[in-house]
A and B are shown apart, each in its own frame.
Chain A
Amino acid sequence: MLVLEKRPTPSKGWAWGTPFLAVALTMIAGGAMFALLGKDPVEAIRTIFWDPLFNAQFASYSRPQLLVKAAPLILIAIGLSLGFRAGIWNIGAEGQYIMGAVFGAAAGLALYPAETRWIFPLMIVAGAFGGFLWAMIPAILKTKFRTNEILVSLLLVYVAENILASMALGALRNPEGGGFPGSRNLSQWPAAANKELIAGTGLHWGVVAAVIAVIAAYVLLQRHILGFQIKLSGQAPRAARFAGVKPETLVVLCMGLSGALAGLAGVFEVAGPAGQISIDFNQGYGFTAIIVAFLGRLHPVGILLAGLLMALTYIGGELAQFMLGLPSAAIQAFQGMLLFFLLAVDVLSNYRIRLASFGREAR
């Protein structure tokens, strides 16, 4: 009988090894699925994992796109990871992302068609504030009334989606858009556009912000007293209290920070790659970022890599659909498998697997 035995500290070796194991397992299981669908499994796997990076025809375009796709995921996941480490569960980043985009776009559009260079910075501030504000609702309810933040933040996603729809149809609708829902295109308005900083690299301000967030989170967790408090609260809440950590302050800080980062991701997206507020502007980045945060084991560098991996499966998946005629559902299922395997093999870094005799069954 196999039993799991908790390691005193997570295994370093497995921590690095498991993602590769998971990807390998996914290739086998996914390949089997593609074969069942009547496609060449080797070709499908190659198209997903190899072509976006190295295909002569696409790679020069797809590689930068990895950054574009990964940036919002990383930015949001970094914010979430801080709260998750402290045992504060903000799972409503999707709503904060939407509100960031709405606030940012509204701040910009209010000044349309002015041409000053202050508009974009103003939008960034407004976007971060929008996300922050949306995250403050569960934070304050939690600190004042002890309301569960998982649930309030999740519920607020639906409210934000409704606000987004009414904005796209009402207040922010493009008056020159022929009555169709959707705002003016911000990426085509130089003063508000989140432009590609170096042509052909995909690098935009959101990518810069994501990289800064990764570094800042790393420094915070390694060097700063707040990082210590966050880790301590997550691992030993009572000890944290004795060490002088105020749980209320920590909730407000972690929620506020993750909200602001999600809001930033929203405003960079609406002013750049997406270009406009539309009814279904949000593509689930806020939820995918939760997965990214866990895949990265709540570690800033891990999140960076996990975000890039997720982006790779999106872009490679698109290529596979279009080049090989795979249904998009197969790609969804494939991504699901990858996540399952990544989560499953994680057990190896935290636990040792031992053979045990039947008499001493653990449970």
Chain B
Amino acid sequence: MEIFGINIAVLIASLMVASVPIMLAAIGELVVEKAGVLNLGVEGMMIMGAICGFITAVHTGSPMVGFLGGAAGAMALSLVFILLTQVFLANQVATGLALTLFGLGLSSLLGQGYNGIKPPRLGDVPFGPLENIPFFGRVLFTHDIMVYASIAIVAAVWAVLKYSRAGLILRAVGESHDAAHALGYKVVRIRILAILFGAAMAGLGGAYVSLVRVPQWTDGITAGAGWIALAIVVFASWKPWRVLIGAYLFGGITVLQLNLQAAGARIPVEYLSMSPYLITILVLVIMSSGRGRASLNAPAALGQNFHASR
């Protein structure tokens, strides 16, 4: 199947890979925000994940261990955020921004000496004959494990939030920490766990950039992906499956415009590259105007610190 000389199956397969980092970071941030915490330090955690994952993979020779290292690195950085916002009750917006600044600096210091090294390669999952199914074989069965893992994580977050008691508590904490506290839930502990989960996901996303998408380390390698992840959470109106759609849309438009160029189509590149943001704003407006239901979907306690006054 071809449109404008672009093979659609190949395009979809490409955008699935391109979207993995932002999807992972966004699903993590979604959980954090559902718990009522706004962590704007996603970019900082992603790049920490990228360098820590890279270093771990290079030294162990295993990309999978590298991903664990990436998650661990980002979680370590998020401890600063946890200490400041959950213990010292500092403002979350300012702390998140500082976290990004610090993460960018620290990652570059850690990465000195790792330029020009190639990490061990993560192969595709072998599906054997399934790969040869027309169209769907190319789209669905030619990826590495993290592509499937990221989708599985989205599904798991959706299921947990929707059906499990833990999900209910998490949402309660994000809606009204005072009520949740009155019911006897440990608000701060739950939020800390949510922030750690968010950091682990951002770290995985960052490690995916440095280990798979662009298998190398260079300073600033995530180049703003964390900010896009933040936008996707909003686009998704805090719904897990819409994170997947949002990530494919954001990742997809970049891949699409590059493919259109490569195919020789005449397109105004700069307008196309701002379109995901405009679409997101439009989606936001439509959702929030629609009888106010979806606007309520934003966790009510988002960005507010909790202090038990007994």
A and B bind: yes
B-binding residues in A (CB < 8 A): 4, 6, 37, 89, 91, 137, 141, 144-148, 150-152, 154-156, 158-159, 162-163, 165-166, 169, 287, 290-291, 293-295, 327-337, 339-340, 343-347, 350-351, 362-363
**Smallest Cβ-Cβ distance to A298: which chain B residue:** B91
Can you list 10 A-B pairs with a CB-CB distance of less than 8 A?
Answer: A148-B288, A148-B298, A151-B231, A154-B231, A166-B271, A331-B105, A332-B101, A336-B102, A343-B90, A351-B307
The reply to whether the CB of B94 lies closer than 8 angstroms to some CB of chain A is: yes
- Provide the residues of chain A in CB contact with B292, threshold 8 Å: 146
A330-B288 in contact (CB<8A): no
B231-A155 in contact (CB<8A): yes
The reply to whether the CB of B14 lies closer than 8 angstroms to some CB of chain A is: no
B102-A332 in contact (CB<8A): yes
Selected interface stretch from B19-27, B125-133, B273-281: B273-281
Using A159-B277, A332-B105, A347-B90 as known contacts, say yes or no to A339 and B284 having CB atoms under 8 A apart: no
A91-B93 in contact (CB<8A): yes
**A81 → B minimal CB distance (Å):** 12
**B99 → A minimal CB distance (Å):** 7
A159 and B231 alpha carbons, distance in the complex (Å): 12
B281-A155 in contact (CB<8A): yes
B274-A159 in contact (CB<8A): yes
**Smallest Cβ-Cβ distance to B101: which chain A residue:** A336
A350 and B90 alpha carbons, distance in the complex (Å): 10
Using A332-B101, A336-B105 as known contacts, say yes or no to A158 and B231 having CB atoms under 8 A apart: yes
The reply to whether the CB of B270 lies closer than 8 angstroms to some CB of chain A is: yes
Main secondary structure of the interface of A (DSSP, over half): helix
B284-A147 in contact (CB<8A): yes
B280-A155 in contact (CB<8A): yes
A141 and B285 alpha carbons, distance in the complex (Å): 7
B307-A152 in contact (CB<8A): no
The reply to whether the CB of B188 lies closer than 8 angstroms to some CB of chain A is: yes
- What number of residue pairs across chains A and B have CB atoms under 8 A from each other? 153
The reply to whether the CB of B165 lies closer than 8 angstroms to some CB of chain A is: no
**B55 → A minimal CB distance (Å):** 15
**Smallest Cβ-Cβ distance to B296: which chain A residue:** A146
**B47 → A minimal CB distance (Å):** 11
Cross-chain contact of A294 among B94, B101, B274 (Cβ < 8 A)? B94
One digit per residue, 1 when the CB lies within 8 angstroms of any chain A CB and 0 when it does not, for chain B 298-310 equals 1000010001111
- Provide the residues of chain A in CB contact with B93, threshold 8 Å: 89, 91, 290, 294
Using A343-B98, A350-B89 as known contacts, say yes or no to A148 and B187 having CB atoms under 8 A apart: no
A156 and B234 alpha carbons, distance in the complex (Å): 13
A327-B108 in contact (CB<8A): yes
The reply to whether the CB of B59 lies closer than 8 angstroms to some CB of chain A is: no
A284 and B230 alpha carbons, distance in the complex (Å): 17
A63 and B181 alpha carbons, distance in the complex (Å): 51
Cross-chain contact of B277 among A89, A146, A155, A346 (Cβ < 8 A)? A155
* New A-B contacts (5) at CB < 8 Å, excluding given A159-B278, A336-B102, A340-B84: A151-B284, A158-B274, A295-B94, A333-B109, A343-B84
Ranked 6 nearest A-B pairs via Cβ: A336-B102, A332-B105, A333-B105, A329-B108, A339-B98, A343-B90
A158-B277 in contact (CB<8A): yes
Using A331-B105, A333-B106 as known contacts, say yes or no to A343 and B277 having CB atoms under 8 A apart: no
**Smallest Cβ-Cβ distance to B269: which chain A residue:** A166
Q: Which of B280-298 contact A (CB under 8 A)?
A: 280-281, 284-285, 288-289, 292, 295, 298
- Provide the residues of chain A in CB contact with B298, threshold 8 Å: 148
- Provide the residues of chain A in CB contact with B94, threshold 8 Å: 290-291, 293-295, 339, 343
Using A151-B284, A290-B93 as known contacts, say yes or no to A332 and B108 having CB atoms under 8 A apart: yes
A362 and B87 alpha carbons, distance in the complex (Å): 12
